[in-house]
Amino acid sequence: MFEFGGLTIVLVIVALLVASLRILREYERGVVFMLGRFWKVKGPGLIIIIPGIQQMVRVDLRTVVFDVPSQDVISRDNVSVKVNAVVYFRVIDPAKSILQVEDYLVATSQLAQTTLRAVLGKHELDDMLAERERLNQDIQQLLDTQTDAWGIKVSNVEIKHVDIDETMVRAIAKQAEAERERRAKVIHAEGELQASEKLLAAADVLAGRPQAMQLRYLQTLSNIAGDRSNTIVFPMPGELMNLMMRGTRADE
């Protein structure tokens, strides 16, 4: 009878030892409570928990990646779009992540959705399409500030898709085409302006030097002579006409 009782005691002690032992991996921490009050954070490695007196909650310190569901966003220029994103975060304070919020995963996910709508709603559609890097940083900084009280570090936010309805896509295409036409006209006008300035400068040089005018006239005649046309019509320079008129009067 005594041997049976001793064996029972040994088995109970072994069972208590097994129940009190916990092994935490390198990326895990244990938030330990003693009689319902927070005691300390333990781990990694082998730790001992007193059964019935102490309780432990495991916390994973690895980076968590989750998709933010597609959100309906109305931009500042009143364009309705659907936007989804991906958020990267990790626990940096295990005690806060358990004590300050009931479920930090759900809380961070819900906060990311509302923050995404709030930030993007302050920008126009062109910014959403062209300034994603800056918007990612704005959302990340705002999320990181709000989750700091929960012991959460938001390391990165990436906007994945900005979905626009077909009507808006056609309007954007027309706007882009109009912008290309405007730029082409501006470039053409600038070319005409530069050409007119060069022609005016050339005219000033030729007007100040009659010899240059004569050389230019002869060059033009040479170019025309190379044409295959049978008939060539060219203007007579005013200086040459005056010279011929003076010569005629002298003969008379």
For every residue of 57-89, DSSP letters joined together read: EEEE-SPEEEEEEEEEEE-TTS-EEEEEEEEEE
Domain C-terminal end among 60, 84, 104: 60
162 pLDDT band (50/70/90 cuts)? confident
Whichever domain contains 82, its CATH number is 3.30.479.30
Same structural domain, 144 and 55: no
Work out the pLDDT band at 125, boundaries 50, 70, 90: confident
118: closest CA among 103, 145, 147, 138? 138
In a domain, 9, yes or no: yes
| More confidently predicted of 247 and 41 | 41
Residue 197 covered by a domain? no
Asked, for residue 94, whether it belongs to a domain, the answer is yes
Per-residue pLDDT band for 181 (boundaries 50, 70, 90) equals confident
Q: End of a domain among 132, 164, 196?
A: 164
Residue 18's pLDDT band (cuts 50, 70, 90): confident
Residue 63 confidence (pLDDT): 95
Residue 115: per-residue pLDDT: 94
* Last residue in a domain, options 139, 164, 189: 164
d(CA 189, CA 195): 10
Report if residue 248 sits inside a domain: no
Question: Residue 17 sits in which domain range?
Answer: 2-60
Count Cβ atoms within 10 A of the Cβ of residue 234 and give its class: 0-12 exposed, 13-18 middle, 19 or more buried: exposed
Helices (H), the chain: 2-20, 94-99, 104-120, 125-130, 132-147, 166-208, 210-225, 238-251
Residue from 109, 169, 86, 162 nearest 131 by CA: 162
Instruction: For residues 166-179, give the mean pLDDT.
Output: 67
DSSP state for residue 209 in the 8-state scheme = -
Q: Is residue 190 part of a domain?
A: no
Token pair of 231 as six digits:
């008939």
Residue 234 lies in a domain: no
Domain contains 74: yes
Mean pLDDT across the chain, nearest whole number? Answer: 81
Q: How many domains are contained in the chain?
A: 2
Average pLDDT over residues 116-139: 90
Amino acid found at 202? A
> Considering the domain boundaries, does residue 198 fall inside one?
no
Task: Choose from 52-56, 153-157, 192-196, 198-202 the range with maximum mean pLDDT.
Answer: 153-157
Q: Two tokens at 179?
A: 């912008």
Same domain for 54 and 138? no
